[in-house]
Structures are given as C-alpha cells and as structure tokens.
Amino acid sequence: MGSYNKVLLMGNLTRDVEVRYTPNTNTAIANIGLAVNRRWRDQSGEMKEEVTFVDCEAWGKTAENISKFFSKGKPIFIEGRLRLDGRHALVQRDA
C-alpha cells in the first residue's frame, strides 16, 4: 500500500522568521516557530485551551516570501509534510 504524508497547520508565529542559505546552492531555508491553539468546552461547560508549539521549515522561494511578509505574532497557514528528527516533529514545506 502507498503512503501519504501531508500536514495542514494554522496558527501564529512565535518568533521572527530566521533565514539561512545553503553553502553550495545558496537556497533559502526559513525556520519558523508556530503556535497552534485548540479551544473546547469540557463536560462541565468550562472553556479549556491547549497550545501546541511546532517548528517548521520552508525552502526556496517559499522561505524567502515567508521571511519577507511574516513576522512574530502574525497568523499563518502552512501546508507541508511531517518529518521527525528524533526529538521533535518538523513540518517541512519544499519549494
């Protein structure tokens, strides 16, 4: 059976976008911190909130555009694939 790896996240940036470039090809890589909020009512009717922090990475022109138009606190919608680096989940958006 084939596999499918796609993630959709909507939240707010937790820090300004950090951009670096690969040494050989000079490709932009943007590191993005994202906070995704979940709100719900429990059985007693009390509002609850849970925040999930996700580190994301964008490459190429996408990385350049994110760094140009987004900053800390701004809402963003990210589509990408999930990659685990041993300790953390990382959502990656390729160019």
Query: Residues 21-57: pLDDT tens digits?
Result: 999 999 999 999 999 999 999 999 999 999 999 999 9
pTM attached to this predicted model:
0.80
Asked if the model's pLDDT at residue 85 lies above 70, the reply is yes
Buried b (16+ CB within 10 A) or exposed e, 28-43: bbbbbbbeeeeeeeee
